[in-house]
Chain A
Amino acid sequence: TQLLEQSPQFLSIQEGENLTVYCNSSSVFSSLQWYRQEPGEGPVLLVTVVTGGEVKKLKRLTFQFGDARKDSSLHITAAQPGDTGLYLCAGTYNFNKFYFGSGTKLNVKP
């Protein structure tokens, strides 16, 4: 049983479209992180959110942490082929142990 559920599992869109991926849990986390992973490589941290209701922006990416600190979303505006990859969320209670979701595999077609 996954502690963090990510949806959708797969997403294939055209360049220029917007998209949102979700990360949901029944647990309250002290912090949640988003990573992007490309084939054959390790995950790369995109953002850490710690405060309920927090919104962080990273160029065309907008991250939101739910008020109750149980869920999060990642919105990409005007997706580009370079955004293709596996997007992972990870939650932690104490920064000692991190629980990862199973990821959303995004494919952006030119």
Chain B
Amino acid sequence: DTGVSQNPRHKITKRGQNVTFRCDPISEHNRLYWYRQTLGQGPEFLTYFQNEAQLEKSRLLSDRFSAERPKGSFSTLEIQRTEQGDSAMYLCASSSGGDQPQHFGDGTRLSIL
């Protein structure tokens, strides 16, 4: 049983660099979510996709953030011109939609030097 897979697990980069994370959801899931979690906090919703359509974006997702799910399967989250405040765990989750449960990946931990 392959769950949600996120790569890389850890990313360390200098301020101002661009980074891209990848999420591979459970194959039959049409919903895909991105969250950000900082130390001592719960996950904060960033955006979600229904198949390839991005249906909602949080105000947390500034112009420097962009997410795609081009073929309705894997998704990427790109952060341009990273800032110190972007340091966090970025979590991806997928579901079959409706009231079906979300399954989370183990996240990508981003550290900005």
Q: Give the number of A-B contacts (CB < 8 Å).
A: 54
* In the assembled complex, A52 has its CB within 8 A of some CB on chain B: no
Are A48 and B101 closer than 8 Å at their CB atoms?
Answer: yes
Complexed CA–CA distance, A22 and B55 (Å): 31
Complexed CA–CA distance, A98 and B46 (Å): 10
Are B41 and A42 closer than 8 Å at their CB atoms?
Answer: no
* Number of A residues with CB within 8 Å of any CB on chain B: 23
Are B99 and A48 closer than 8 Å at their CB atoms?
Answer: yes
Binding site for A on B (CB under 8 A): 4, 33, 35, 40-45, 48, 55-56, 91, 93, 97-99, 101-107
Instruction: For the A-B complex with A97-B48, A98-B45 known, give 16 more contacts whose Cβ atoms are closer than 8 Å.
Output: A6-B42, A40-B106, A42-B93, A43-B91, A45-B103, A48-B99, A88-B43, A90-B42, A95-B97, A95-B98, A96-B55, A98-B33, A100-B44, A100-B45, A101-B42, A103-B42
8 nearest A-B pairs in the assembled complex, by CB-CB distance: A42-B104, A100-B42, A45-B101, A100-B43, A88-B42, A41-B106, A102-B42, A42-B106
